[in-house]
A = this chain, B = another copy of it.
Amino acid sequence: MACRPQLTPVLRRLARTTSELSRQAPRPQVLSLTRTAAAAGSRSLGSSQPRPFQHTPARRKDGDDFTSIKYPELKRDGRFGRLTLDHVAHFRSLLGDSNSALIDGVANAEAAADDLEPFNSDWMRKYRGHTQLVLKPASTTEVSQILKYCNDNMLAVVPQGGNTGLVGGSVPVFDEIVLSMSRMSQILEFDDVSGTLVAEAGCILEVADQYLAARGYIFPLDLGAKGSCHLGGNLSTNAGGLRLLRYGSLHGTVLGIEAVLPDGTVVDDLSRLRKNNTGYDLKQLFIGAEGTIGVITKVSIQCPQRPAAQNVAFFGLESYEHAQRAFREAKGQLSEILSAFELMDEGSQALVHRVTGSKRPLESTHPFYCLIETSGSNADHDSEKLSAFLESVMDKGIVADGTLAQDETQLRALWAWREGITEALGHLGGVFKYDVSIPLAQMYQLVEDTRARVAEAGLLGDDADGTHPVRAVVGYGHMGDSNLHLNISTRRFDPRIEKVLEPFVYEWIAQRQGSISAEHGLGLAKKKYIGYSRSEGMVGLMKQIKGLYDPRGIMNPYKYI
């Protein structure tokens, strides 16, 4: 039997948090990754928030960063009415006169510009619309009255939750009315025997989770933007996040919704029951519909007990084949306590190391690393299982080296090597980002094939002679969910890069029946690429559903399908 490597102790140095990593980082090219405080309000974007394609320049005063200018092929749909003072007066009569209910830029665009701006722009500053009116209903009835009026008057509407999306789905393109759900933020019910939570759609994810934490429960979804994102937005985008491996998708955990259709019809499907086989499960259509067929107003969801113990291990592997074997062993041995299995390649870790200067978790480098997290009800049992697992995979030669976090600080430090990748890449320059799902056996091959292609085109390498705009092609992601983040780190803008990458990446994914959007949705960004993941027939059937619920097409136009 081969000599078994020793577990490397986690060093104190690793105790730095992600925010410390950021502070220490050299910033060769500062990109506007976070919005200004004024624009973002109380928004806090955690380091685990994935960031998509980032060649977006900092916000320009002259306004040529409007979506309508950046994407000249998009044309305003002439069937939509233009907002008038009469329309605004009607909305005031519905919602009351307070500024908390309505932001009016129709009467005086200049005066309202600053107030409207956060609703017109996404946090990446990639998309910027021209809305002149934000409506903030406080009840389902108000949502219904608004939509019915908009439908009758052909006024286009963009539903907006926390506006933390990554594909431009929650901001207007032209002058669509923004329907902000921010005032419908209450937790309505919690059954502490069954774990069923009922809340309004505008409830912030972190608020819901903290409410549940105080009662020994956990929200079955977690993601970096939890401090800002709304439950309604989570459902509308079918958010996946960090807990999917453990708690499954929202299609399984959501028990009911209340939603409003464009014609004002209230879909009263707010079941609190785990089992209810009485007819078509219509609520499922609204999960992942990105506000294109109606607006979710209330949510009922099954919440699991909060785990008492968490452990994290980090290890190095000699090949992607080894990583797959490790994943299989982890599923078998850790089974019910496995809550994350994350993959990082050496390229991604080298970049984090370069940016942070932190000592790496393992003493030697390896082509691949995995981070395993367990969550369970008994800390001793979980530690024992995780140690036994690590010993076993080392004995079998699957894992080359590994380390176990000894406390909460070390646990966070190990997570920083996974969660810090996005941050590090951002600090180094522009990034082409693809959030994709590919059958596990072939998943990493996409990174290798892309790297080879970029190298072949003469774009990848060191930049001694100034001819290599691409620094690195790296891959990492949620291995447990077959969800890869392919990232191409660039030094400067070069039109050749995009030509080499697209449609190559999408075609590669399509050939393997993968998904061009694993968890971020379609929005405006991926509308035109849906054909790479869905057949013409399926897109046709989807358009049928759109036509059924939104025959006049007022809901979130220019996006999705």
Interface stretch among A126-134, A461-469, A533-541? Answer: A533-541
Q: Please name all residues of chain B whose beta carbon is closer than 8 Å to the beta carbon of A47 when the two chains form the complex.
A: none
A516's nearest neighbour on chain B, judged by CB, is B278
A336/B324 contact (C-beta < 8 A), A274-B249, A522-B278 known: no
Smallest CB separation, A48 vs chain B (Å) = 16
How many chain copies?
Answer: 2
Smallest CB separation, A310 vs chain B (Å) = 12
The reply to whether A281 and B538 form a contact with Cβ atoms under 8 Å apart is: no
A279's nearest neighbour on chain B, judged by CB, is B542
Report how far A191 CA is from B286 CA in the complex, Å: 30
**Residue A269 lies at the interface, judged by CB distance under 8 Å to chain B:** yes
A281/B248 contact (C-beta < 8 A), A377-B333, A385-B381 known: no
Q: Enumerate A248-277 residues with CB–CB distance to B below 8 Å.
A: 248-249, 251-253, 265-269, 271-277
A533's nearest neighbour on chain B, judged by CB, is B278
Q: Please name all residues of chain B whose beta carbon is closer than 8 Å to the beta carbon of A526 when the two chains form the complex.
A: 278
The reply to whether B515 and A279 form a contact with Cβ atoms under 8 Å apart is: no
Cβ-neighbour of A279 out of B266, B277, B441, B539 (below 8 A): B539
The reply to whether A517 and B278 form a contact with Cβ atoms under 8 Å apart is: yes
Cβ-neighbour of A271 out of B305, B515, B516 (below 8 A): B515
**Residue A226 lies at the interface, judged by CB distance under 8 Å to chain B:** no
Smallest CB separation, A554 vs chain B (Å) = 17
Q: Please name all residues of chain B whose beta carbon is closer than 8 Å to the beta carbon of A276 when the two chains form the complex.
A: 437, 515, 517-518, 533
The reply to whether B538 and A193 form a contact with Cβ atoms under 8 Å apart is: no
Q: Please name all residues of chain B whose beta carbon is closer than 8 Å to the beta carbon of A545 when the two chains form the complex.
A: 280, 282, 548
**Residue A376 lies at the interface, judged by CB distance under 8 Å to chain B:** yes
The reply to whether A280 and B274 form a contact with Cβ atoms under 8 Å apart is: no
Report how far A333 CA is from B381 CA in the complex, Å: 13
Smallest CB separation, A144 vs chain B (Å) = 12
A523's nearest neighbour on chain B, judged by CB, is B277
**Residue A244 lies at the interface, judged by CB distance under 8 Å to chain B:** yes
**Residue A160 lies at the interface, judged by CB distance under 8 Å to chain B:** no
Q: Please name all residues of chain B whose beta carbon is closer than 8 Å to the beta carbon of A324 when the two chains form the complex.
A: 193
The reply to whether A335 and B280 form a contact with Cβ atoms under 8 Å apart is: no
A275/B335 contact (C-beta < 8 A), A268-B537, A441-B193, A538-B268 known: no
Q: Please name all residues of chain B whose beta carbon is closer than 8 Å to the beta carbon of A304 when the two chains form the complex.
A: 335
Report how far A284 CA is from B257 CA in the complex, Å: 15
Report how far A248 CA is from B542 CA in the complex, Å: 26
Q: Please name all residues of chain B whose beta carbon is closer than 8 Å to the beta carbon of A275 when the two chains form the complex.
A: 240, 244, 249, 437, 481-483, 515, 518-519
Q: A482, A513, A545: which has the most chain B beta carbons within 10 Å?
A: A482
Report how far A357 CA is from B336 CA in the complex, Å: 39
Q: Please name all residues of chain B whose beta carbon is closer than 8 Å to the beta carbon of A268 when the two chains form the complex.
A: 535, 537-538
Contact with B along A230-252 (1 / 0, CB 8 A): 00000001101000100011011
In the A-B complex, list the 10 residue pairs whose CB atoms are closest, starting with the nearest: A252-B252, A284-B284, A335-B377, A276-B515, A275-B518, A336-B336, A381-B381, A248-B252, A273-B437, A278-B533
A-B contact pairs, 7 of them (CB 8 A): A191-B441, A193-B441, A274-B482, A278-B522, A279-B530, A282-B538, A381-B385
Binding site for B on A (CB under 8 A): 191-196, 216, 237-238, 240, 244, 248-249, 251-253, 265-269, 271-282, 284-285, 287-289, 293, 304-305, 307-308, 324, 327-328, 331-337, 375-378, 381, 384-385, 437-441, 481-483, 513-522, 526, 530, 533-535, 537-539, 541-542, 544-546, 548, 560-561
